[in-house]
Structure 1
Amino acid sequence: MLTISDLNNDNRLDIAVVNFGANNVGIFFGYGDGTFTEQMTFATGSGSLPIAVTIGDFNNDNRSDIVVVNRAGYNVMVLVRDGSQPFLTMKTYSTSDGSHPKSMATADFNKDYYLDIIVANTDKNNIGILMGYGNGTFMKQTTLQTGNRSQPCSVAVGDFNNDNLLDIAVANSGTNNVGIFLGYENETFSSVTTYSTGDSSIPYSIAVSDFNNDNCLDVTVANLGSTDILILFGDCHGSFGKAQSYLLGYGSQLYSVAVGDFDRDNWTDIAVANYGRDEVEVLLQPCSKT
C-alpha cells in the first residue's frame, strides 16, 4: 500500500509505501518532474509486517507525518517529521496482542482540531480508536466491537446523518456485512448497525462518497468472495438502503476500492483492484445517473 503527499514542504509530491516483507516504510521524494529520489527507508520492527500507511499532521506544525499499521507487530506506528531530520521521532501504540490490524483512517472525531486514528483489528473483532493530543502522541486505544467473528478489515469515515459529527463505516469480512457506528458529542459511538453484503461475499475494502448527488453520503464496498461491487445509498439520517450490486465479471475477486471523479462530470466514479483478474477496473457513472 502507498500514499502520496508533500512530505518535505517543497511543493512537490512524494510517495510513502509500506514494504510488507522488508519490515519498513519507504519514502521516495519527488523532484517535481515525474521522477523521484532513491528510496529512503525507516524500519518498523523485526517481523512487524507493515500493511497500511497514511499521512497527516499529527503535531500541528504544518508538516506531514506518517502513520503505519503493523499487522504482525500488533501496533500503530507514528513517524513524526522533525524540523532538521525527517521522521526521526517514532512511537508505537499497541492494538493488543493477536489483533492483526489491517486498515486505518485518520480524522478529528472529537472536534478538538487534532487528528485521531481508527484501526480495524481483524482478529479482535473490533475497531481501535486512538485520540490525538495534537503533539504527535495519542491516547491508549479504546475499542468499538464489530461483532462476534466479524473480522473487520477496512474502515472509512464520514458524516452519515448530517449532524456535523463523524461516523465510521467498516467492512466485516467474517460476517459478510458493512457495519455503521454513529458518532456522538461525548466522544462515544452508537453500537454497530449492520447491512448485509451477501452470503460468502467477504467484503474487503470500503470507501465513502455521495454517488447519487443527493447530498447524503453513501458507502461502496469491494467483495473479495463474490464478483460484484456494492453501493449502499444513505438517507442522510444514518441509515442505508439495500445494497445495489454491480457485477464485474467471472473470476473477479475485488481487493481494494477507491473513488473519485475521473472524467470530470461531477459524478463520483469507482476504481477497483481486481485480484482475481489481475486488472484495475474503473466504473464511470453516466451523466444521467439518478
Structure 2
Amino acid sequence: MKKLLVVILSLGLFTFTGTSETEASSSPCSKYSGQSKIWWDGAELKLGQIGRLTIVKNTSLFKLEGDKRTFERTLKAGESYRIYAFKPGMLSVGGGFYVDRNEKVKYETPSKTKLDAVACINGKHPSQSKKIYSPILGKVTLGMSKQQVKEQSSGILSEETSDRLVYQNVNILGYTGMVIHVFENNALVAVNVYHDIMESVDDLNLLEAYFVTMYEKIIPYYGDPVSLDTDWLNDTGGYNLSAYWITNDHNTLLTVQVTYDYDTYGGLRISITE
C-alpha cells in the first residue's frame, strides 16, 4: 500500500482591511446582501453540496469502509438526496453511505453561479479571503475556492468530497503524481503531493537523484534552505532526506523517505508562515 506523504498548507486566520463603498458594491457577493438561503429548483442549496441525486429505479444504499460494502437499505424511485462527495462509479449521500452511479439514478450539479451564491452568503467566497501564491503550485493559489481550483488544475479529477479534490497524473516540477487539495469553508488550505516515481523504489541512488533534482529546481525560487538534512541515518521512523525553506508568507519542505517497512515516498509540503 502506498505510504502517503501528508502535505498541509495551513492558511491560519484571514486578515481583512477596510473596504470602500465602491469596492463593496463591485464585489461579486454584493448582489446577495441580506439573503440567508439560495434555492435550486425549489430546494435549498447547502454549503459544500456538489449536486443532487434522484432515484430513477429502486437502488441499494451501502456503507463503504475501505473496499468493503455493507448493504444498508433500498432507496425508492422518486426520492432525492443532496450529494456532497463522489468516488469513481459512486455517489455519497453523506455519513459514509454511497450508491452506485448507474442508470438507476440521475445525478445533477448546480451552476457555478449558484455555488458562488452559496459561498457568498456564508462568507466563504474566494473574493472574501486572502490568496497566497507559491511558484511550485503554478496557477493554483492558497485561498482559492473549490471551483477555482477545478478551473486551474491539470490532471484527471478522480475524487471529490465537500472538503477535498483529488487529481491524478498532475505534473509538479517535472514529475507526475497524485495531488490532493484540501478545503476548509470552501477555501484551499492544504495540498498533498505524491510523486509516482518515488513509489516502491529499492535503490538509494535513485532516491538521492530525485532529491537532488528537486532541490536544484527549488533553489532558484527560494535560495538556500534554512535547514538541509542529507544524512539518511539521523532520523526516527525511517530514513529521510529533507530541505526546508521559509519566506515571509509560506514554507516549503522537500522530503524523501524510506520507512522501516521499506516503503518509499517523495514529495513536497508547502505551508503558510505563521
TM-score by length of 1: 0.24
Q: Highest Rg: 1 or 2?
A: 2
By percentage of residues, which structure has more strand? 1
TM-score by length of 2: 0.25
